[in-house]
Structure 1
């Protein structure tokens, strides 16, 4: 069985020629949305969905605009609104050292340098400068950790475990 990973959400159509507006959550839009790339349009990674082949890609404002081979009008892509775009595991490329896919980080348990469990990563916020990892803490405000050397000390994606140094001012509680 193939694993599928979310690379964006189809939020709307664009124009009348079958173009769709995608709110992207991939660090590699040029690669993911390259002409000829095969993506799955579905409501969840487990659902069957529809396989589509990218015909064109361009950016407009904060969106990626895509057309798919064989889909030439707004009527043919209207049904995709609200669905997600997924890439298959075999299309993921090797990353450099200290680079990770979102799906590898989200769900990891975070501990401080003393080994105290802080919570689990539930989201990643792109800031432009560096990503910020959002740690869900039971009964407490989320902890926002910048992905920088001074904070993130060790990442073990195999065991879903991250060790961090909580710098002064990061945890205001």
Structure 2
């Protein structure tokens, strides 16, 4: 379709963005359709032709938090996890979750100044957003 742009979404279900409105170059623009083509997500914004689509190259799209799709219990957005205090189940302070290392071939990894923690239930025991804390297993292999 003419006027489509490639999108690198940070969502499991990019089709949930259909109908959402973003600001593009200061103007509100609604996503009219999303389709998958050869492993790529292609988006068409309402009223955008090929020339307009080319002007969008390299921009980032953000949704207000109120527009984000809800997640199942136990799933979190990255922005909710960054900045959490990370402690072991025995109470050892491992620092603050600073970075999420994305690994499509295996588990993502949460990084603090002291540890690398696989994003897996075996290692991440609990997340308490209200308390600002993540509890991880007492595994010496997590320490840098």
TM bucket, shorter chain: 0.7 to 0.9
Residues 1:134 and 2:119 are matched in the alignment: no
Q: Secondary structure at the match of 2:15?
A: helix
State how far apart, in whole Å, the 2-side matches of 1:164 and 1:27 are: 25
Structure 1 residues 41, 151: CA separation in 2 closer, same or farther (over 3 Å shift)? farther
Corresponding residue of 2:55: 79
**Equivalent residues of 2:20, 2:31 under 8 A apart:** yes
Corresponding residue of 2:91: 115
Structure 1, unmatched stretches of 5+, are 1-14, 43-48
Report the alpha carbon displacement of residue 53 of structure 1 after superposing the two structures with TM.
0.8
Q: Secondary structure at the match of 1:57?
A: strand
State how far apart, in whole Å, the 2-side matches of 1:164 and 1:24 are: 28
Structure 2, unmatched stretches of 5+, are none
Corresponding residue of 2:20: 37
The structure whose residues are more often strand, as a share, is 1
Corresponding residue of 2:125: 153
Corresponding residue of 1:12: none
Report the alpha carbon displacement of residue 77 of structure 1 after superposing the two structures with TM.
2.3
Residues 1:51 and 2:28 are matched in the alignment: yes
The number of residue pairs the alignment matches comes to 143
**Equivalent residues of 1:40, 1:87 under 8 A apart:** no
Corresponding residue of 1:46: none
Tell me which of the two structures has the higher relative contact order, counting C-alpha pairs closer than 8 angstroms and 6 or more residues apart. 1
Corresponding residue of 2:4: 19
State how far apart, in whole Å, the 1-side matches of 2:9 and 2:39 are: 9
State how far apart, in whole Å, the 2-side matches of 1:101 and 1:110 are: 17
Residues 1:89 and 2:72 are matched in the alignment: no
Q: Secondary structure at the match of 1:64?
A: strand
Q: Secondary structure at the match of 1:96?
A: coil
